[in-house]
A and B are shown apart, each in its own frame.
Chain A
Amino acid sequence: MSVEIFALTLLFSLPLGLLVSFGRMSRIKPVRYLVNFYISIMRGTPLMLQLIVVYFAPYYVFGKTINGFRFPAVIIAFSINYAAYFAEIYRGGIESMPKGQYEAAEVLGFNRFQTFFKIIFPQVIKRILPAVTNETITLVKDTSLAFVLAEVEMFTMAKQIAAKDASIMPLMVAGLFYYVFNALVAMVMDRFEKKLSYYR
């Protein structure tokens, strides 16, 4: 379950974060303010609370709970939370791009869409990769928070076994799993970085 939360959150939050970063940099003031507010909430309140709020949102909005909403709630809460962080990483990357790249593209006749996706974004990815790796590793460890919605995830399971057996060994084993998984994440990201090191 932890791995699913991890994978689905990445899948949704990475593109969503890009969209949010566009909103954050929008020329339309209300959009910018709205997105700023959203980011401040996501970063300013505990993810644990956000999980609970998302889970109970249908109840407060529609007056009833939805069956089987536990897992989707976890994914939604994680995704919108991580999208906010990723958005700021994207923004940092995009704003660090020299103006000359945009100007060269403009003079050569690329439209705005081409300029972004052909010229700017590939270079942004290279710049933000270390920061994205950081977030991704944090996400692995954050999956343990899914317990607040009684989602079965590894660390809570380990805690229960530990309580039953009166031993910290299960927790240490869980810790080892996180460590190994994160080592794997770091390795994959490192390979990505190497792949992008063909240019400077």
Chain B
Amino acid sequence: MGNDVLLEIKNMKKSFNDLEVLKDISLTVRRGEVISVIGPSGSGKSTLLRCATLLEKMDEGSLKYLDSYAADMVDGRIKYAPKSELKKIRNYFGLVFQNFNLFPHYSVLRNITEAPIHTEHIPERIAVAKARELLKDLGLSDKENAYPFELSGGQQQRVSIARALAKSPEVLFFDEPTSALDPELTGEVLRVIRKLASQKMTMIIVTHEMQFAREVSDRIIFMENGVIEVEGTPDELFNSQHGRLNEFLGRLKE
């Protein structure tokens, strides 16, 4: 049963100076689950993602991928795993950024193959073959030699999804993947995420696209002021009587 759980966060706390951004977050993610995280800006959803992807160090709590603890409490103090262990853990997840963060000086193909070749020491031939396959899946076959600046925002975001997938992560995080896109370009990115969901890719998606979250998620988490206020299936959430959740959803409809 244990290996069914890909990610386990317990009592995660994080403050910036005196501001408590995450107050006590616990979250368990099982293989194949798609979880959307929604909530007003400043609710801590991005910080949750950044702590889970080791871009930010949490102050308290534990973080476990499969059977490996990235961080755990030891004698009441947080202790992060040694570098080599964290390196291994980084291979368990991928992150798609709001602003893509592609490497502008590399071609599309090299953006995708550089990490597998140089951090996982996968032979170039294999990495390239896999990258081409991913590009084909994402409808970007003709773009492998293009540079990021030559692509539209939607195409760039799809390349960055391919880049994250190239490392064969167990779980994929999305940090508002469509927020930097023109409205007419969000569709192509959402389609890709939908396709990944149908392939049972485990995903955690911070998003403002409520309709999309409703349709693609197994579970939705509503965060506010650093705590998970409501958690449930899309139907449960959208029919919830929770005051602030309704207020939040109402604001979005305006």
Contacts and interface: CB of A to CB of B under 8 A. Distances in A.
A110 interface: yes
Nearest to B103: A119
Interface stretch (B8-16, B29-37, B88-96, B235-243): B88-96
B163 interface: yes
14 contacts: A100-B101, A103-B97, A104-B97, A104-B103, A107-B53, A108-B167, A109-B115, A109-B120, A114-B118, A118-B118, A126-B105, A199-B148, A200-B104, A200-B149
A122 interface: yes
Interface in A95-141: 98, 100-101, 103-111, 114, 118-119, 122-123, 126
B245 to A, nearest CB: 30
Contacts of A199: 104-105, 147-149
Q: Lowest 10 A-B CB distances belong to which pairs?
A: A109-B119, A104-B101, A100-B101, A108-B115, A200-B149, A199-B147, A107-B95, A109-B90, A199-B104, A199-B105
A110 B101 CA distance: 14
B99 interface: yes
Given A114-B119, A122-B105, A108 B163 contact: yes
A104 B97 CA distance: 8
Interface residues of A, number: 21
A60 interface: no
**Which among B94, B97, B103, B118 has the greatest number of chain A C-beta atoms within 10 A?**
B103
Contact of B97 (A100, A110, A126): A100
Given A109-B120, A110-B119, A114-B118, A198 B147 contact: yes
A198 B149 CA distance: 10
Contacts, number: 61
B101 A103 contact: yes
A107 B55 contact: yes
Q: Is the interface of A mostly helix, strand, loop or mixed?
A: helix
Contacts of A105: 103
Interface of A: 98, 100-101, 103-111, 114, 118-119, 122-123, 126, 198-200
Contacts of A119: 103
Contacts of B149: 199-200
B94 A107 contact: yes
Given A107-B95, A199-B148, A200-B149, A101 B115 contact: no
Contacts of A126: 105
Interface string B216-252: 0000000000000000000000000000000000000
B119 A108 contact: yes
Contact of B87 (A103, A109, A122): A109
A101 B105 CA distance: 11
Interface string B160-182: 00011001000000000000000
Nearest to B87: A109
Nearest to B118: A114
A199 B87 CA distance: 30
A27 B19 CA distance: 25
Interface string B106-120: 000000001100111
B203 to A, nearest CB: 15
Interface string B46-84: 000000011100000000000000000000000000000
Nearest to A198: B147
Given A103-B97, A104-B101, 14 more contacts: A98-B101, A101-B101, A104-B97, A104-B103, A106-B90, A107-B54, A107-B93, A108-B90, A108-B167, A109-B115, A114-B118, A126-B105, A199-B104, A199-B148
Nearest to A106: B55
B104 A110 contact: no
A199 B146 CA distance: 10
A199 B120 CA distance: 27
